[in-house]
Amino acid sequence: MNLKVEKTPLEGLLLMAPLSFEDARGYLAETYHKDKYKHFGVNCDFVQDNQSYSVRGVLRGLHAQLRSPQAKLVRAVSGEIFDVAVDARPNSPTFGQWHGDYLSGANLRQLFIPEGFLHGFCVLSETAIVHYKCSSLYVPDDQSGVLWNDKDLGIDWPIETPVLSDKDRQNLTWKKFREALKKA
């Protein structure tokens, strides 16, 4: 199978690396194949693809939808990012724990993030293009988030002073997010 898969410490969160075929012209990589991914437990009907362009220092996240959770398959098309997922599934043994990995256009790695996780990333290269597949549609009124530097989560970001959107500056604390989860 042309896919290398590593389990992370968080149940269902997978680091995936499609194998590439290289020659003098460059490379070709199969970045998604439903049956192959299903073999490793990625059994999603992806319904929406998103792509972002960001400059060095931008941090997007941590985001989640509460009533219409999205599984995501995230990859950096170009540049390098530090991609983070936080287990926000209340009944999970790893609830409140995070995992981060470096994704880049060069390493072709992808992070599969199951439903019920918060997601965010920061850009480490001059620019980055990030593409991700989603298992449910974006619902603006269902969007929630947690502050990137919430001390209760203790995420070890490789950046100290990120560029944030106004919306991300207003994200909830982990404590308030947990309360919102109970009401969803």
Query: Any idea which residues carry the catalytic annotation?
Result: 63, 132
Residue-by-residue DSSP string for 62-120: EEEESSS---EEEEEEESEEEEEEEE--TTSTTTT-EEEEEEETTT--EEEE-TTEEEE
Six-digit token pair at 99? 């995992």
Give the three-class secondary structure for 47. Answer: coil
Distances (CA, A) of 170 to 1, 59, 133, 150, 181: 44, 14, 26, 12, 17
